Homo-oligomer: A and B are copies of this chain.
Amino acid sequence: MSVTLPRTPGNIGPHSRGVFIISVTPFTESGEIDWPSVDSLVEFYLAKGVHGVTILGMMGEAQKLSDSEQAAFAKHFIARVAGRVPVIVGVSNPGTDNLVALSNVATDAGAAGVMIAPMAGLKTEVQIRDYFATVFKRLGPDIPVCFQDYPMGTSVNISVPAFLQLVDEHPSLAMFKHEDWPGLRKLQQVRRACDGSARRRISILCGNGGLYLPQELHRGADGAMTGFAFPEMLVEVCETFFAGRPDAAEDMFDCYLPLVRHEQQIGVGLAIRKEILRRRGAIACAAARTPGPRLDRDDLEELDRLLRRLERRLAGVARSSSGVAA
């Protein structure tokens, strides 16, 4: 038994919870955006119960799209979701004008917020602070922002006090995407500092492929923001956890952990994720845009083996009424 977390169509805010799936961007074999697959992908994610979607993230290959493709993708995706869940749009860009332009497109199309990582090249916390001062000023007060803390991708590191200063200075900073690694202690420090009492509450969702999701929930995370190809597991883990059954949640998680770990290989992991989504019927073609990873025969056999093992394990769990850890 699990709770059903709300799937509210409004803006992201202090009480956003659950699973915001990081959407892939489907391409045809020749590298064009595959619009029918965008539609089927939206329906796939919603059918799996996600509480929100984040598009145009790093795993959405946003940096390989043209500006007009980004805008068109955001509009199409949001229109297809049609308010059933909130949609966050990744807008990180080396140019602030470009960032703002896409943010406005997204907001006009109905996005629930935008996600911004500190620009690569920022070296000190003063520089991070100055950067976001400009960005928030340009965005204005009405666009909710999710701060993406992903040093492995950006090479920008921020300490907890420096992040809290951003929270204090920018009321529209509404969400913290935690994916510093390792970062369990950092997540917990942010949670305690932004708990609605010591300081206004912000929502904390976790990335890093979900590799530490049960630990992150124990530490105070509100859910996951990652793109694992079995979103229903992320959803069930979160809902079971918030229903007060953490061990059952973690049992479910552990069943999938071999695959979570397999997908969490920087680079090739995207190809694995897309291949699974293809096999599950979510998208028609697994290709990543150039330059992007491709699976070879060995990779595919390895994936076959892992998926067979997952099936077997889930079957075993189903047979046992009391679960694997019972």
A residues with a Cβ closer than 8 A to B are 31, 61, 63-68, 94-98, 101, 119, 123-127, 131, 134, 138, 151, 157-162, 181-182, 184-185, 188, 211-212, 215, 218-219, 247, 250, 254, 257-258, 261-262, 265-269, 289-291, 296, 298-299, 302, 305, 309, 312-313, 316, 324-326
Contact = CB atoms under 8 A, between A and B. Distances in A.
A282 to B, nearest CB: 23
A119 to B, nearest CB: 7
B324 A261 contact: no
A302 B215 contact: yes
Contact of A126 (B161, B269, B309): B161
Nearest to A180: B123
Contact of A289 (B95, B250, B302): B95
14 contacts: A63-B95, A66-B98, A68-B68, A96-B289, A124-B157, A131-B291, A134-B291, A181-B265, A185-B268, A218-B302, A219-B298, A219-B302, A312-B325, A313-B324
A184 B182 CA distance: 22
A158 B93 CA distance: 24
Contact of A257 (B151, B254, B267): B254
Given A261-B211, A298-B185, A302-B215, A67 B68 contact: yes
Max chain B C-beta neighbours (<10 A), residue from A95, A96, A127? A95
